[in-house]
Amino acid sequence: MPTYPPEPFRIKMVEPIRLVSPEERRKAIQAAGYNVFALRAEDIFIDLLTDSGTGAMSDRQWGALMQGDESYAGARSFLRLEKAVHDIFGFNYFVPAHQGRAAENILSACLVKPGQYVPSNMHFDTTDANIRARGGRPTNLVIEEASDPSNMHPFKGNMDIAKLKAFIEKIGPENIPFGMMTITNNAGGGQPISMANLRAVSKAYHSQGIPFFLDAARYAENSYFIKLREPGYADKSTLDITREMFALADGMCMSAKKDAIVNIGGLLCVNDEALYRTICNELILREGFYTYGGLAGRDLDAMAVGLYEGLDEAYLAYRLGQTAYLAAIINAAGFPTIQPAGGHAVYIDAGSVLPQIPHGEFPGQALAVEMYLEGGIRSCEIGSVMFAHPDPDSGEIIYPSLELVRLAIPRRTYTQSHMDYIGDTLARIASRADNLRGYKFTYAPELLRHFTAKFQPL
Ligand SMILES: *Cc1c(COP(=O)(O)O)cnc(C)c1O
């Protein structure tokens, strides 16, 4: 069992949470149409729905917030953020956006034409949907090891370089407006990507004249994994590793709600000046002027501080240690998880624990509902509810290879006893897993359906 690293912070403000009765939980989930997204937060004891925007800001971030400059254009807050973004990521141009998907929307609006393909290791759901919304075809080319939950590959988020080269050859670079990499690979278990792989991806895209964009929500966790696991990086700082990663790309989209530890915010960076101009126009149309991008000045300041705090190595050692600890106690409770433990979340392999529930009846959804009923814990299905979709050519439903339940850990928010409580709750569920049944949709929109779908137990 990995030891639990003592938190490298102490608590000076608390937010009460409460466990409502089993009867209230039953009523609440029923009223929510068995979709945990529709629960009221006050009915949840431990909320692991997402690590996005749910972390605890530091005293320094709250202090920076008070200095926000709310000028419409050219605010000091923007200049402070610009300095941090330039120092850490190094791109020529950047705009703030209100969150990651806004940056993806702007980028897709500027570059994706109907019928074009955008390869990546694995697109996250919002990236996937934003490319599809422009008629594009997101394509996942992650290494084979990623779909084997027990494979201990240290960089399971890596791109399959041979597949990527064959794909570019087959589709033709003229039909690929840009290529991507998601670091870390959220949809595939929060798994990191090695520097060597990023270098090879960059070369594969650039040799064909294809611009390379990073989807970089977890830049800091990825850097720390490289430091821990990739030969030659043990003595480099996470900041230097981050700079080396981003120097390989032509731009990035980023949700700052993850490693930059803010409640709202995102970034879109590019090196190309003409593209930057187009982005500014698109941003002004949809988000706001290019020096605030839909955010308040104070949000930009909190982000400027958070971008560095996310890179702090004592914090990252605690962060990845907490995740590894949670994975170990969940395994001890009888649930397999994606191995090795990822950065921001533990992914339970619901498909293998609930073999009686087929893909089309949503095993991950069944486990997520059960965790709420048993312990007031909110998690997130990452399986067929989120990713099954009809093939654009044949109309046949394509199911993802894994049916996962993600327990995302908000940053600097929960303690070891919360983690132990989660392990105890899962141990109780494990003893009756054979009796769990699946769900069917009573409502589902076409895109991003997990957010608003309604279900009925079978
Ligand atoms: C969260 C996330 C996004 C979307 O960002 P939002 O801020 O939620 O809009 C995109 N890509 C990845 C990898 C993410 O983790």
CATH code for the domain in which residue 179 is found: 3.40.640.10
Pair (212, 153) in one structural domain: yes
Q: Where are the alpha helices (DSSP H) in 312-355?
A: 313-332, 350-353
DSSP-based three-state secondary structure for 277: helix
Active site residues: 72, 124-125, 215, 217, 258, 450
Residue that finishes a domain, picked among 309, 331, 362: 309
267 within domain boundaries: yes
pLDDT at 147: 85
- Domain of residue 368, CATH code: 3.90.1150.10
Domain containing 278 equals 59-309
Residue that finishes a domain, picked among 279, 309, 339: 309
Pocket test for ligand 1, best of 124, 125, 254, 451 (most atoms within 8 A of CB): 124
Q: Average pLDDT, whole number, for the chain?
A: 96
* Main-chain phi, psi angles of 45, to 5 degrees: -90, -60
Pair (67, 32) in one structural domain: no
Tens-digit pLDDT profile for residues 204-236: 999 999 999 999 999 999 999 999 999 999 999
Per-residue confidence at 99, pLDDT binned at 50, 70, 90? very high
Q: How many angstroms separate the CA atoms of 310 and 132, rounded? A: 31
Tens-digit pLDDT profile for residues 130-141: 999 999 999 999
pTM of the complete model: 0.93
Tens-digit pLDDT profile for residues 408-428: 999 999 999 999 999 999 999
pLDDT at 11: 95
3 within domain boundaries: no
CB of 185 closer than 6 angstroms to any ligand 1 atom: no
Pair (451, 303) in one structural domain: no
What atom of ligand 1 comes closest to residue 99's alpha carbon?
7
Q: Could you tell me how many residues make up the chain?
A: 458
Pair (267, 203) in one structural domain: yes
Cα 361 to its chain centre, rounded Å, is 25
What are the DSSP calls for 15-26, one per residue?
Answer: -------HHHHH
CA 452 to ligand 1 centroid distance, Å: 18
The domain tally of the chain equals 2
Type and span of the H or E element at 105: helix 100-111
CB of 182 closer than 6 angstroms to any ligand 1 atom: yes
Pair (35, 146) in one structural domain: no
Pair (297, 318) in one structural domain: no
Q: What secondary structure letter does DSSP report for 39?
A: S
CB of 138 closer than 6 angstroms to any ligand 1 atom: no
DSSP-based three-state secondary structure for 145: helix
Tens-digit pLDDT profile for residues 150-177: 999 999 999 999 999 999 999 999 999 9
Inter-residue contact 323 to 414 (CB < 8 Å): no
CB of 219 closer than 6 angstroms to any ligand 1 atom: no
Residue nearest to atom 4 of ligand 1 (CA): 100
Tens-digit pLDDT profile for residues 235-275: 999 999 999 999 999 999 999 999 999 999 999 999 999 99
Pair (105, 86) in one structural domain: yes
CA 101 to ligand 1 centroid distance, Å: 6
Residue that finishes a domain, picked among 287, 309, 331: 309
Q: How many CB atoms lie within 10 A of CB 113?
A: 10
Q: How many CB atoms lie within 10 A of CB 277?
A: 13
Lowest pLDDT segment from 39-43, 105-109, 391-395: 391-395
Per-residue confidence at 74, pLDDT binned at 50, 70, 90? very high
pLDDT at 286: 92
